[in-house]
Amino acid sequence: MTLDFQAWSRDVAGQVEAALSELLPAGRIVPARLHDAMRYSTLGGGKRVRAMLVYAAGEVSGAARERLRIPASAVEMIHAYSLIHDDLPCMDDDVLRRGKPTCHVEFDEATALLAGDALQGLAFQVLAEYKLCDSAERQLRMIQQFAVACGSRGMAGGQAIDLESTGKALTLPELEFMHIHKTGALIRAAVLLGYSCGAASEAERKKLDRYAKAIGLAFQVVDDVLDYDGSTATLGKTAGKDSKQGKPTYVSAIGLPRAKQMAEELRAEAHAALEGIGPRARRLAEVADFIVLRKF
Amino acid sequence: MTLDFQAWSRDVAGQVEAALSELLPAGRIVPARLHDAMRYSTLGGGKRVRAMLVYAAGEVSGAARERLRIPASAVEMIHAYSLIHDDLPCMDDDVLRRGKPTCHVEFDEATALLAGDALQGLAFQVLAEYKLCDSAERQLRMIQQFAVACGSRGMAGGQAIDLESTGKALTLPELEFMHIHKTGALIRAAVLLGYSCGAASEAERKKLDRYAKAIGLAFQVVDDVLDYDGSTATLGKTAGKDSKQGKPTYVSAIGLPRAKQMAEELRAEAHAALEGIGPRARRLAEVADFIVLRKF
């Protein structure tokens, strides 16, 4: 009997939480405050969507579950680091994240800066340390592509574009360009990392790439809708923040109804991309639904 | 005819500068401001001691020079990122670096933060992208060890210990513990990376490791002496800063004469570590002399 999505996603979240707890240095190890901050911001929270994507994509290529916990953890470490730095006073200056005080509020700015830095290093460490697939050459390529997704032409670049865009009215293509980098790159990297842990084929990789691009954008569109619609309590982060800070959002660019419609179209596009793969793509399809239909 | 040290180090610096310029995204590529900041803080400055160590250690194992430019660049990227973040207001809050305004002064804090983040990612990207040695398995181990040196149990951890120590009188062992992490880890990683690009043996690796530990500490002791003795103009960074900020230094811990003597002893220890390797270790011996005898 296969698990329903809720049970499966709980299982994935549990596995990743256990792996992260094992991979992150214990809080008692020197420098204790830094390790505490790294654990504080990485453990015990978040929807673990990126980890789910690693596992779901790994199912398509028949990757061993035992292997997937490493790339899933690495992706969540990078995500956690990006949130810590994004919340800093010189960036978004936010005090609430995942329903808790942000890292620099709970600790201090310098510790938060270093915790983010160290989490990025740790992500690459574990990706190189553990066997992810049967070919070391392929594993090097996986690390390289993952690094591109994190860097100036990926996530960090997207944050820079975001900075430059604050207070400006972006066109839809400009907004898309920003989010393809800021959110989309890591989501795409999560899918490709997980897929590459198994028996990967070029044809299927292209399908997954198309899927990943659709859900990467969908994720951001839905985030903007929820940021506009939701309350701080249900979001676990400050609601309405983006529009208050003068940041362009899909809601501000195309309005609420069209943003909702766009999310729905992207969900359909994600499902279409998976066509022909069959039941191995079931979890990916479910994650696409989860991303678009989530209410929190 | 072999080059004298000055000509050799100029040659290394030129090769690394060219490699970095090629590996860093051009300033015209979007996000332009971020790429400008990355180039501003990485190119055209610094003594390139860590790059020299990569090349010098590579000579011991007969590594191809063409390959060494990649690890040398990666180490310099990590070094540049650590300086950018170290200079931020929430850390050392410094305005001068390598004789120029620091990154956040020339650009802004958010851009400096992201430039450091992206440089770290780029370092891992190039280490995984280019062929560093004849075995992909070994290359993965090299990346893993390098990541450890950058992370919470290496450089980032050393910076965290540094933060916690400000205003405290450290014992000599505590001071050593801090610098083994803060400066020593990346210097050691540079030596081992370069060495691993060629025909490495376990016996020689142990010698180089001992060498690296000695010069890593020597580097910091000399830095403290110069910070105490030197002027801002010759240092290219704010002189006397560490003692003013209440940071423990070797000079404050053991006094100027003993700090100078300690640097000399560490230089002797570095030379002793290289015994038996023969002329292949010439450059490493010269870099040790350069580190201890430099006046700027």
Cβ pair A141, B128 in contact under 8 A: yes
Chain B residue with minimal CA distance to A91? B110
* Structure token pair of residue B39: 């180039």
Chain B CB contacts of A110 below 8 Å: 90-91, 163
**What 3-state DSSP class applies to B27?**
coil
Chain B CB contacts of A170 below 8 Å: none
Chain A CB contacts of B180 below 8 Å: none
Chain B CB contacts of A135 below 8 Å: 136
Give the minimum alpha-carbon distance from A294 to chain B in angstroms, rounded to a whole number. Answer: 30
Structure confidence at residue B228 (pLDDT):
87
Cβ pair A119, B120 in contact under 8 A: no
Chain A residue with minimal CA distance to B123? A147
Query: What is the maximum span of chain A, computed from C-alpha positions, in angstroms?
Result: 52
Confidence at B237, pLDDT banded by 50, 70, 90: low
Chain B residue with minimal CA distance to A85? B113
* Structure token pair of residue A135: 């070919």
Give the minimum alpha-carbon distance from B83 to chain A in angstroms, rounded to a whole number. Answer: 12
Structure confidence at residue A167 (pLDDT):
83
Structure confidence at residue A240 (pLDDT):
66
Structure confidence at residue A230 (pLDDT):
73
Cβ pair A287, A52 in contact under 8 A: yes
DSSP character at residue A277: S
How far apart, in whole angstroms, are the C-alpha atoms of residue A265 and residue A259? Answer: 10
- In this structure, is the dihedral angle defined by the CA atoms of residues B47, B49, B54 and B60, taken in order, positive or negative? positive
Confidence at B169, pLDDT banded by 50, 70, 90: confident
Confidence at B193, pLDDT banded by 50, 70, 90: very high
Choose among B31, B85, B110: nearest Cβ to A113.
B85
Choose among B38, B128, B144: nearest Cβ to A129.
B144
Structure confidence at residue B5 (pLDDT):
96
Structure confidence at residue A236 (pLDDT):
67
Structure confidence at residue B243 (pLDDT):
66
How many domains are contained in chain B? 1
Q: Tell me, what's the ipTM?
A: 0.95
Chain B residue with minimal CA distance to A113? B85
Choose among A91, A118, A157: nearest Cβ to B156.
A118
Contact at CB, B157 and A31, closer than 8 angstroms: yes
Residue A273 domain boundaries: 5-293
Mean pLDDT of B172-200: 95
Q: Hey, how many other C-beta atoms are within 10 angstroms of the C-beta on A227?
A: 21
Q: What percent of chain B has pLDDT over 90?
A: 83
Helix (H) or strand (E) holding A96: strand A96-97
Give the minimum alpha-carbon distance from A182 to chain B in angstroms, rounded to a whole number. Answer: 12
Distances (CA, A) of B79 to B6, B117, B151, B189, B267: 22, 12, 13, 11, 23
* Structure token pair of residue A232: 């701080």
How far apart, in whole angstroms, are the C-alpha atoms of residue A76 and residue A293? Answer: 22
Chain A CB contacts of B153 below 8 Å: 25, 29
Q: Residues A45, A64, A22, CA angle at the centre, nearest 5°? A: 40
Suggest the residue from B90, B92, B181 to mutate for an interface test with chain A (most A CBs closer than 10 A): B90
Over residues B7-50, the pLDDT tens digits come to: 999 999 999 999 999 999 999 999 999 999 999 999 987 899 99
Cβ pair B24, A152 in contact under 8 A: no
pLDDT tens over chain A, length 296 residues: 578 999 999 999 999 999 999 999 999 999 999 999 999 999 987 899 999 999 999 999 999 999 999 999 999 999 999 999 999 999 999 999 988 999 999 999 999 999 999 999 999 999 999 999 999 999 999 999 999 999 999 999 999 999 988 888 888 888 999 999 999 999 999 999 999 999 999 999 999 999 999 999 999 999 999 988 876 656 666 666 666 677 888 998 899 999 999 999 999 999 999 999 999 999 999 999 999 998 74
Q: Is residue A32 classed exposed, middle or buried when 0-12, 13-18 and 19+ CB atoms within 10 A define those classes?
A: middle
DSSP character at residue B201: -
Chain A CB contacts of B163 below 8 Å: 110-111, 114
DSSP character at residue A19: H
Record the pTM: 0.96
**What 3-state DSSP class applies to A235?**
helix
Contact at CB, B109 and A129, closer than 8 angstroms: no
Question: What CATH number should be reported for the domain holding residue B247?
Answer: 1.10.600.10
Cis status, amide bond into A31, omega within 30 of 0: yes
Choose among B33, B143, B152: nearest Cβ to A31.
B152
Structure confidence at residue A185 (pLDDT):
97
Structure confidence at residue B236 (pLDDT):
67
